[in-house]
Amino acid sequence: MKNNSTKSEKCIKRSETSDKGNEKCIKRSEKVNKILTQLEHGTKELFNSERYQKYLVTFSKFTNYSINNTILIYLQNPNATLVAGYKAWETKFNRHVKQGEKGIVILAPMKYKKDPDDEDSEVYIRFRTTAVFDISQTEGEELPSFSPVSIVKDMNGYQKLFTALAKLTDYKIEFAALAKDTCKGTCNFTTHTITIREGMSESENLSTLIHEIAHSILHEDEHNSRNQAEVEAESVAFVVSTFLGLDTSDYSFPYIVGWEENDESLLRHSLKRIRDTAHVLITQIEEELNKDDLTTDNTNENNANTDGSNDNNNNSKAVQGMKLF
């Protein structure tokens, strides 16, 4: 009788454990579904030109993140600049989240096996919700000042940045008069030539060059609609220009309104292409500028530590370490 009783107790415990597991699974699914619904509504809002542009400002700070998570960050805290998990702030940066701060909910991938007891079992990916916090929600040890690369306000700095951008493409770059007054630049896929309108400001020259480089990367072998191609190239230019600290006041995105009948799946596809291209360009620009010791907002002299090192490289490593999904 004792053995039977023990077996019954074990069965009950297994049943209770299974029930608790099911409850957790249901709650987890409910949280994920809630955030996916928020994501769906948020994506629809991006078909508004003004909101799309505001989203790209947030987007420029998080090109390491998935499209879904950049949208979620934008929806919950459009002013976020640097985010990490609760424990990450404490263990990696000697900071802690302020009491009462509400986390930014994003999606995190989670691997699981179809059969946990089988080492060779097929592995699946599902998502759970997790919270991250912006640096403004934390306090503690000061981080090295982080700011994107900014153009030096003299001709020498402009020339270095223009040269760095020119190295990112194998297209010939030239300045010339263009027939249409509204046209700032062209990208000729046949002759592999980028033409920039003569007589524009330095900032316009740089933004136009980024725009045309984006065309050369994204659209040489693609057959996209004019609307889609322009949204993608202009978005890459806006994101990279924002990162570089260039003037973006004259940017607008009229093509996004009613674009492709508000096809959300196509927008997501384009956003991924925009994210990937902007991330590659930003990374390569930094590498080129670091070769010439072109600094960020402050000079090397101001940023130098007592041992002669520079905080800028540490900043990049810190931000790279905060990449999540």
- Asked whether the beta carbons of 108 and 128 are under 8 A apart, the reply is yes
Sign of CA dihedral 275, 145, 316, 211: positive
Query: What does the pLDDT read at residue 197?
Result: 94
Is pTM beyond 0.95? Reply is no
Cα gap 294→150, rounded to integer Å: 9
Query: What does the pLDDT read at residue 101?
Result: 96
C-alpha 144: how far from its chain's center? 21
Query: What does the pLDDT read at residue 307?
Result: 29
> For each of the chain's 325 residues, which pLDDT tens digit applies?
445 555 455 444 444 555 555 666 666 677 778 877 877 887 888 888 888 999 999 999 898 889 999 999 999 999 999 999 999 999 999 999 999 999 999 998 888 777 777 777 788 788 889 999 999 999 999 987 645 555 545 546 788 889 999 999 999 999 999 987 778 999 999 999 999 999 998 889 999 999 999 999 999 987 778 888 988 999 999 999 988 888 888 887 877 766 666 678 888 889 999 999 999 999 898 888 777 654 444 433 333 333 233 333 333 333 333 443 4
Those residues whose C-beta lies under 8 Å from the C-beta of residue 300, and which sit 6 or more positions away, are: 293, 310
